[in-house]
Amino acid sequence: MKKVLKAGAGTGKTFRLSLEYIGGLLSGQDFNEIVVLTFTRKATAEARTRIISHLNELIEEGKNSVVWQELNDIFADRVTFDRQRLAECRRQMLLNKDAVQIYTIDSFTNQLFKEMVAPYLGIYDYEIIESQENRAIIEETFRRLLQNSEDFNLLQRVLSMRVGRSFSKPFNFIRSIIEERWKYLLADHERRGKYENTDYLTSLKKVVDLLADIADRKDKTMDESWFIKDFRDFGRDFQKLREQPAGDERLKKYIYKFRELILKKDRTLWNGQKTRGKDFVCAREELQLFYEEFRVKLAREVFNREIRTLESGLFELADKVFAVYDRLKKRKQKFTYSDISNSVYRYLIRGQLPETETNLKDLLEKVTGSEVSSLFIDEFQDTSVLQWRIIEPFVDDRRNFIAVGDAKQSIYQWRGGEKELFVRLPEFISSSVEDLPVCYRSDREIVDFLNEFFTDLHQNWDYSRVSHHDDADRGMVEVLLGGSGAEIDEESKKFSSYSEEKQENIKAQNRELTKDMPRDIAGRLADFENYAGTAVLARTNKQLYEIAEHLEELGVPHVLHQKRELAEHQAIWPIFQLLKFLWQEDYHNLLNFLRSDLIGITHEDLKVLMNNFESIRGFFAGREDLKDHEIDENILELLEWTAELKSADYQELVYRIISESGVFKLYSGERSALKNLFRLYSLMMKVESLSEFMEIYEEKKGSGEFQEAIVQHEEAVDLLTIHRSKGLSFHTEFFYWKPNSGQGGKREEELEFYLKFQPDYQKIDSYLLTTSRYSDVIELLDYDFEEERNQKELVEEINNVYVAMSRAGKNLFIWIDVPAQIMPGEISAWENSSDRYRFYEDALSDACSVRSLSELIKGKRMGEFVPPQGADKEDSPVQEQNLDDLAEFFRAGGLSGKKIPAGSFAAKKQDIDLDLSREKERLMGLAVHYYLENIKYGSAEEKRRGRRLVAARYGNILGDELIEEVFSRAESFIKDYPQYLSERWEVFTEYEPVSGEDDLTGTKKGARIDRVLLDRDEKEIIILDFKTGLERSEEQLQKYRNLIAEEAGEDYSIKAEFVQI
């Protein structure tokens, strides 16, 4: 049995796949005979959990269970209910978890490598590393190539440049070769033949002669003005060279010098104004034909001379790269999953192992340790061609095979994912196809919107409508168009030419326009009472950063999910700059440290340091004293402190940097900073010296160990790129969408390896290895690689939009930062815009039931908003991380068991513990004050608002337990002092009296009073000063009385008191 399940977003593919698994058990298969392959660890865990959950329900509820009803619908009479067998399967699965054959596709491939390939290569103990960590090995590969004169010369010859002048381009080429090795494995390179008929000179002569003929018919002389600006010198010199005897070879060489300019897209060399006129229509058409013929023949010549040689050189270079890289890999015993897949294909599938002379299909049993009766693959649309080549031999008539996927959610083309594999899979494995037609994730309005938007969206993109489930609520979709790009210039000449009515309509539309969409998203979220299950999705991290900044300003709790190096965190970066200086004495790092937010020296101070650079070097070498130099005494003290660190014991250095640098004080309100400072500290305490730590960092930076720690509050807005949101669902979602033309700026030359497969993906139909420098040449020849790639990129961009819009369960906000102006009431506003987004106009109009996109500038809501109510966070991309009391880890031997030397340093360390404890109390005091700042009369609504605002501002640093203590302390005031919450009072919180004394600079020294109560009728004022600690100052209270008396006058009776909270 072979089956392909097409499952759109939210249609229950994991649920269905687990039912197929249970069906296999009930049909007599043992659990260890069923292999399930997924693409992520999360999906693997979810599949395991769902299967056990189904078994539990079947065992407990029997034939009355929903699971059995679903099984009956799928299998009809092909399975029989057997409670005893199911119970035994569950027992065995729980007892023998390792025998449950559910893997990620990477871990499955690793099993093949470990069992079959690694022993053959003499590898018995190896480490799997991430691609970021692998960069160090790629860099070493590059260095070794440079050190070998033969390889170095080959590199220079292939790249047509002096490598010593710039390492960026050659390194990127080497990295690209390694990262796309699978293409070199699949393509069997043979030296290409040459193009015939490359006589581009004769074709150009036809063009010039026809231009001269048109000029003659117009009674004009064809001079250089008949050529466009870029070709005027070319046209003049061509004519002169042509008149010389035996000049054809010189002419060819001259033309070839201009090849890049000539072969650029959509360029002609003649001035179109000169050829105008109805009498010259045929001549213009003929001229264009001759010119295209000339360009094609010139492109053939370029191909023969340059691209053929380049391709052969690149394949030769790739062989050298792989040889060096493989030696390093074997020596270091470190492999990425890509390395493992490449090796499995090379040795197992292509038959370089002696074992593969036997039946390759039997290897599955050897690796899994049991007979395999069924093979299931989840998320098949993300399978790469190489992965399919590895898996395909195991798909035969002896085994059941089920593939589940959704071509619309294929968004990993950049890492080899091939959507068309899933689309064509039923054809080349001769399987049945079943669609899952019901969406269980989203409510009615969302499902209806998606159906209207995506049906017939694009000719190269297929969509099948789905139904919402019977119990779905109404839900909500809201769409808003805006952004500065949509604003119409009211000062332009074009605007002044419009009618008065049209001008007024434009002005009204501009007033309604939301220009700053990221700020508006943050503003809308700030109005939410609850953030559980709420997310913002965007295409890029840059877009998310912009939204995060606004959320930070508004005090909205949020988590930005990204993979970023620990050293890039704002609190860690200056510390790392200092560590690098102490390690290698690179003064650039010292200056980075001094200029960071942590120290923040001025530009003038920086100039002084630069002017005394040699003296500073002498100071750190112990040869010179800086006291006689014009260096600010604070900076001098800092340099002396740095010099002390250079001679400090390693453990003392670690403690002093973290405790004395001021980093705790600067980032005291940021839980993320403290979490990552602890991470840095714990990593440093695992080693014996600074050099050891820095060497490990340089080797492993980019790996999970050295990535920034994400801190999440249980009720915070998740900010994710679309790629990171895949597989997740949210109660409420904002999708920030910026359609673009896809036309980037000028980029450095890149390696391009085009592959075109036959329909069954068993063989390559054609290929080409070249660089982006020749993209215009390739397009003029018989290759459609560029067009095919552009089409794939467009489809994948639509897939990203689909994934983004299909994550929401209850509320979907779509905020579109439009790329072009829309006139009021205009229909087909994007008709002449980029092919990358203009087709979305009809889809938006249909889905929102509007005639013109201009109607969406004020927004369109369909359905009713459903407020988040503590939604389940099990789908959240990260787990809750509690911030431990950092003081615990600053006790001697706290983490590593190492003893801190007794004496002055130990005493300093005790101060650190005390400082951290004081810092916690200080923050709790601030949080209590902030809560009461928002309380006037103690209403339930005020208390809800106070809780929300305090959680937003202090939740990430204090954590849930301490935040609850803050609430308890603040609300005890409301309970214990009802007389101060009476509505007789006019309440002023955080009141700043106008009066005040001048300080030494002439600036008014203001006071801020926690709470002032005013009763105008009774002429009574009460001043309350909240205290969370033990300190009291009657002098301060008297000062407050005097300031208020100055403002209120003698008619008021004024009382002041401390209130302990």
Indicate the annotated binding residues for ATP: 7-14
Amino acid type, 295: R
Q: Which of 984-988's residues contact partners 24+ apart within 8 Å by CB, and which partners? A: 984/1015, 984/1018, 985/1013, 985/1014, 985/1015, 985/1022, 986/1013, 986/1014, 986/1015, 986/1016, 987/936, 987/937, 987/1011, 987/1012, 987/1013, 987/1014, 988/1012, 988/1013, 988/1014
Cα gap 377→361, rounded to integer Å: 17
Cα gap 964→956, rounded to integer Å: 13
Backbone phi, then psi, for 536, in 5-degree steps? -115, 125
Is-contact 498 681, C-beta < 8 A?
A: no
Q: Count other C-beta atoms under 10 Å from residue 209's C-beta.
A: 12
- Scanning the structure block, which residue is given the tokens 């090795």? 181
Coil, strand, or helix at residue 281? helix
Cα gap 182→187, rounded to integer Å: 9
Query: How are beta strands 1004-1005 and 997-998 bridged, if at all?
Result: antiparallel
Number of H-type helices and E-type strands within the chain? 41, 25
DSSP 835: T
| Residues 6 or more apart in contact with residue 536 via CB below 8 angstroms | 521, 525, 544, 547, 558, 717, 718, 719, 720, 733, 734, 735, 736
* C-alpha closest to that of 557 among 591, 532, 593, 578: 532
What token pair was written down for 824? Answer: 């009021």
Cα gap 885→457, rounded to integer Å: 54
Cα gap 775→1044, rounded to integer Å: 77
- Scanning the structure block, which residue is given the tokens 């203590």? 965
Coil, strand, or helix at residue 995? coil
Cα gap 875→441, rounded to integer Å: 12
DSSP codes, 114-183: IIIIHHHHT--S-EE--HHHHHHHHHHHHHHHHHSHHHHHHHHHHHTS-GGG-SHHHHHHHHHHHHTHHH
What token pair was written down for 404? Answer: 């589940």
Is-contact 860 648, C-beta < 8 A?
A: no
Q: Which residues are annotated as a binding site?
A: 7-14
Cα gap 150→920, rounded to integer Å: 63
Coil, strand, or helix at residue 220? coil
| Residues 6 or more apart in contact with residue 24 via CB below 8 angstroms | 33, 34, 373, 374, 400
| Residues 6 or more apart in contact with residue 495 via CB below 8 angstroms | 488, 489, 503, 506
* C-alpha closest to that of 482 among 924, 819, 969: 819
Cα gap 486→510, rounded to integer Å: 8
* C-alpha closest to that of 344 among 557, 178, 117: 117
What token pair was written down for 454? Answer: 């995506």
Integer angstrom CA distances of residue 160 from 30, 169, 173: 61, 11, 13
Query: How are beta strands 34-38 and 1004-1005 bridged, if at all?
Result: unpaired
DSSP 519: H
Q: Dihedral of CA 856/859/860/862: which sign? A: positive
What token pair was written down for 88? Answer: 């035994």
